[in-house]
Amino acid sequence: MTAEVSAVPEVLRHQRQLAGREEFCFACHPGVPCFNRCCADVNILLTPVDVLRLARRLDLTSGEFLDRYTLAPITKDLHLPVLMLRMEEGAEKRCPFVGAAGCTVYEDRPWACRMYPVAMAVPPARAGVEPKPLYFLFEDDFCLGREGGRNWTVEGWRADQRVEEQEEMEADFRELVSHPWFIGGRQLDPKRMELFFTGCYDIDTFRRFVFDSSFLQRFELEAAAVEEIRRDDRALLRFAFRWLRFALFGEPTMTIRKASEP
């Protein structure tokens, strides 16, 4: 096992790693006998864009969505908050968004659902090394989509599932979670953990923080940028990532207004 693989989550360490243009076989559709089997009793990690898309799809504020549909597991091994989709109560522990005909939020389904059966991990930051994603293949026994499907490369699958747009939007988020500040096992204190959670996941609370506090009086922002983040959720989320680099790591991504002359 390479050093990179040993650093990825335990759930992936014994999965088949996909290298380069290595192919895998997969197809999922209502005609497969196991259709929807992967939509129950599963840990689905949510990204910031997942939370934003699902909240808006359901006509909820980010806070309402977080309260109703997510769990935030806390362990000593986590250096940043992690969000998981809350499964329904009951023996099957089904996804709250799956119906008899399939996913009811399919166009806005989470990144992890789009990528299945492929999983991605980004190794921890190392000094002077740009972390590169590693890809793995889930080969669950119950999944019959691996029989008789078409052949894919990771690149082809990602394009077919349209994940590039989301990943481009979350590029700054990935830089946050793999930031060199964490090299050596450094941990955020509880206050900065809360800042991270709000900026990345609770976008409506972050909007109130920006517009209903002294934030805009403390930082220099062009009028056009202010209007963009006021009306555009995605622009606000990208701005939150930018602000977190300043607030968490002290990077010069924001300009503090100079005190007025007496």
186 domain residue, yes or no: yes
**Pair (143, 195) in one structural domain:** no
Residues 20, 142 share a domain:
yes
Q: Give the domain-ending residue among 154, 177, 200.
A: 177
pTM over 0.75: yes
Provide block-wise average pLDDT over 10 residues at a time, the chain (262 residues): 54 80 90 88 94 97 97 73 93 92 94 92 68 86 84 94 87 88 84 94 97 95 96 96 95 85 41
Question: Which H or E element spans position 89?
Answer: none
Q: What is the pLDDT of residue 147?
A: 83
Task: Look at the chain and report how many structural domains it folds into.
Answer: 2
DSSP per residue, 80-112: S---EEPPPSSSS-B-TTEETTEETTGGG--HH
Report if residue 52 sits inside a domain: yes
- Considering the domain boundaries, does residue 257 fall inside one? no
Same domain, 49 and 160: yes
Q: 194 and 143 in one domain?
A: no
CA distance 261 to 225: 26
Asked whether residue 57 is assigned to any structural domain, the reply reads: yes
Judge if 171 and 198 occupy the same domain: no
Question: What six digits make up the tokens of 248?
Answer: 């968490």
Per the structure, the complete domain to which residue 44 belongs is given by 3-177
| Domain C-terminal end among 122, 144, 177 | 177
- Report yes or no on 258 lying in a domain: no
| Residues ≥6 apart with Cβ < 8 Å to 127 | 180, 183
Asked whether residue 103 falls in the same domain as residue 232, the answer is no
* Of the residues 120, 143, 177, the one at which a domain ends: 177
Query: Does the residue 255 lie in any domain?
Result: no
Same domain, 187 and 155: no
Same domain, 168 and 201: no
Same-domain check for residues 114 and 215: no
Q: What is the pLDDT of residue 98?
A: 93
Indicate whether 72 and 198 sit together in one domain: no
Do 157 and 33 share a structural domain?
A: yes
Residue 242 identity: R
Burial of 122 (0-12, 13-18, 19+ CB in 10 A): middle
My answer on whether 124 and 195 are in the same domain is no
The predicted structure's pLDDT at residue 178: 83
Burial label, 54 (beta-carbon count in 10 A; 0-12, 13-18, 19+): buried
What SS3 class is residue 71?
strand
